[in-house]
Amino acid sequence: MLDYQYPGWHYGISYTDNKTFVCPKIPKCASSWAEQYFLSLGWVKKSFVAHNLFDLSALVFLREPKERYIAGLGEFLNRQHDSLYPQAVKSVEFRNEIFREAFDKLTLDPHTSLQTFFISNLNNPIYFKVDDSLSETVASFLGTTVDTTFVNSMVHGVGWRELALEYLANNELASKTLDSYLIADYNLFNTVRFQ
């Protein structure tokens, strides 16, 4: 049911000012906000792989790993399997089967891939924590103004994300498997110095 072939091209999407900084796109790490913000500053969308931008200082946005994964799983299911949602709400058994497969496979698409995958070859990372003050922190770092019209996309209401959280709360093995999968992201998240 949940089959996925990873598109390697996604690894290279970034925004750059062409001289000083590059910002790799990491799905579910304020990527909607980042696109709006950086393009408004005159940055351009490029592949840092194709244009060999690895030596530029990289503005890296990191989100708490489990929070990001659950949001990413919700995004994946909403995009790829939303027609199953009404049945998943009605049937715990059906919902559990979906999540059993999801937590068995874990890497379903870019939204559920490790954050560390997207930044593994960057030479000069500068880390920012994805939280409520991200836009102010980035604007202060770059010496630009904060534009409050740019917002990160949000999903309102109960959906796949909430169902996944419920499943994890009731399934210790799936929760431990997810924690094990996220270990590289947690190691990075817990050791870097955030701006």
Q: What is the pTM of this model?
A: 0.89
Contact status, residue 112 vs residue 181, Cβ threshold 8 Å: no
Q: How many other C-beta atoms are found inside a 10 Å radius of the C-beta of residue 66?
A: 17
Mean pLDDT for 141-167 is 78
pLDDT one-digit tens code per residue, 166-193: 999 999 999 999 999 999 999 999 999 9
pLDDT of 26 above 60 = yes
Q: Determine the Cα–Cα distance for residues 142 and 174; give it in Å rounded to an integer.
A: 41
DSSP state of 11: G
For residue 9, the model assigns a pLDDT of: 43
User: 76-105 as b/e, with b when 16 or more CB fall inside 10 Å?
Assistant: bbeeebeebbeebeeeeeebbebbeebbee
The DSSP letter of residue 116 is: G
Determine what percent of the chain is predicted with pLDDT higher than 90: 70
Taking only the tens place, the pLDDT of each residue in 84-142 is 999 999 999 999 999 999 999 999 898 999 999 998 888 899 999 999 999 999 999 99
Is the Cβ–Cβ distance between 14 and 107 less than 8 Å? no
Integer CA distances (angstroms), 118 to 55, 125, 134, in order: 15, 12, 19
State yes or no: pLDDT of 67 exceeds 50. yes
DSSP one-letter code for 131: S
Mean pLDDT, residues 51-55: 86
Cβ atoms within 10 Å, residue 193:
6
Asked whether residue 157 carries a pLDDT value surpassing 90, the answer given is no
> What average pLDDT is seen over the chain?
88
Give the pLDDT score at 165: 95
pLDDT at 97: 96
